[in-house]
Amino acid sequence: MQTILELEGLSLPAQVESFQPIQGGYILHGNLLALLHPFGYTKFYRHGFHSWSLSCWLDLSSSLEPPVVKSLYPQFDHPALLADYPFTGSGVGALQGSDGRTLLLGALGLDARVKADDQVLRGSAEPVTAPAEWFLAYGEEQAVFVRYAELLKDRLGAPKFTHPWRAQPPRVWCSWYSVFTNISEELIYSTLAGLQGLPFDVFQLDDGWQVSIGDWEANPKFPSGMLALARSIREAGYTPGLWLAPLIVQPKSSLFQNHSDWLLCDGQGQPVPAGHNWSDLFYALDVTLPDVQDWLSEQIQKVVGWGFGYLKLDFLYAAALPGVRHLNLSGETAFRLGLDVIRKAAGDAYLLVCGAPILASLGLADGIRIGPDVAPYWDNPERSQHLHDHTGPSTLNAIRTCLGRLWLRPLVQIDPDVTFFRTRYNLLLPHEMDLLRTLTGITGFRATSDLPFWLDPGERQALHDFLETSPQIERLSYYRFLVAGQEVDFSFVMQL
């Protein structure tokens, strides 16, 4: 139906199936929506598909090009968002009005996209049994996003995690950004000893402990096994944490070789590449298969049974990619089914999801990574400039997308990734490190990967103070904050 929607003095000609006024805006129904807007080449809020995907305000007149490495496309964003890149987003989009207010269109379900140009704001959703549901609002930016978050919480729920971390995120030491996959039992024990006296809650092993991606057992670098390692971490006073990528598989793994029929495939029956890492392509599991669900549940129960109470689950977007599934489910709906299996198997363990579809993780994850990997350098021009990839590891990319996702905080704990205190092996300038620490203070999620024997006494004390204190934060505008009485302006970070 065609109608005129009245919003805070704004009249919008609209094509929708039906609508109803609610507090703060309208509920719209339809799998294809179109709204004529009067703002011309204004700013568009673009929300990426998963943790690393570009999310920020962009000028509709800008000419950003899509990433150029096709084998990495899923690691950039959902393939469906790249045809009209960057002005098609996942789940929610918004326009800046001529008076500075925000026109928001946000899906209240999964597998939805929002697209904008200088005249029309469009919403589309994959067909389901009933027309998709949307929220439309016009007003002050924070207010409309807060109302949208409230409605998402009604539809998708909130985590039921009962640990004290529910009120305040855990303070995490993670192995990744110091030694990457070069972890070993010996290094872990020496690091545990060196961290004594620093008030971390979680000690988390990252990638490098497993036999392969798909074979989730300790490799020869951990001869005592994961049960003994978790016990030692707990005896040192920390909750043991572990990295897994349970929804993807490497060709060299026994899982791939013995269960190729478990893979997500395309219409020709070929496995769908989910990205490239570990010097090879990797593939997604079809999480709608009962055998895959049973295996997934067993893996998570095994890891929790070893004693790991904090799980960092990575590359999760793979299960939501387009493909032919055992059950005829859309991508995000299938992913959410798999994440629900994990949630039930994990019990009270804390689930931090990474590389994860954002809306489809709400209500099931305790924490969500909301940006690309940080790095001990500011920019990554080989990827950002030459490959047009703004998801590559760099502090600049991480800060930009994290700032674009602060509206998620009422729904889930938001993880901006680690910050740095070391000067060793670090190219960040002092003010760049300060910006990263400020972002961490804004989100409330505090983590580092610095090895204790890389820190001089002043750096160690700064890390201790960072873990013990929570600065007062006031948001002044999109990118300006008052942090412990000092104004911090991130506006220059947002330029693309």
Which are the catalytic amino acids?
A: 314, 373
3-state secondary structure of 248: strand
* Cα 17 from Cα 30, distance rounded (Å): 5
**Which residues lie closer than 8 Å to 96 by C-beta, 6 or more apart?**
39, 42, 43, 44, 45, 57, 102, 103
Q: Are 41 and 118 in contact (CB under 8 A)?
A: yes
E strands present in 140-268: 171-174, 202-205, 210-212, 215-218, 239-244, 248-249
Q: Are 176 and 415 in contact (CB under 8 A)?
A: no
For residue 323, the 8-state DSSP code is -
The H or E element that residue 473 is part of is strand 473-475
CA 354, 356, 359: angle at the middle one, nearest 5?
A: 130
* Cα 476 from Cα 404, distance rounded (Å): 15
Q: Say which residue the tokens 């092993």 belong to.
A: 205
Angle between helix 226-235 and 185-194 (nearest 10)? 10
Residue type, position 331, single letter? G
Q: Using a CB cutoff of 8 Å and minimum separation of 24, what contacts does 7-16 make?
A: 7/103, 7/136, 7/137, 7/138, 8/101, 8/138, 8/139, 10/38, 10/97, 10/103, 10/138, 12/36, 12/37, 12/103
DSSP string of 266-308?
-TTS-B-EEEEETTEEEEEB-TTSHHHHHHHHHHHHHHHHHT-
3-state secondary structure of 79: helix
Token digits of residue 240: 């043991």
* Cα 416 from Cα 24, distance rounded (Å): 30
Between the alpha carbon of residue 216 and those of residues 202, 248, 264, the distances in Å are 21, 12, 20
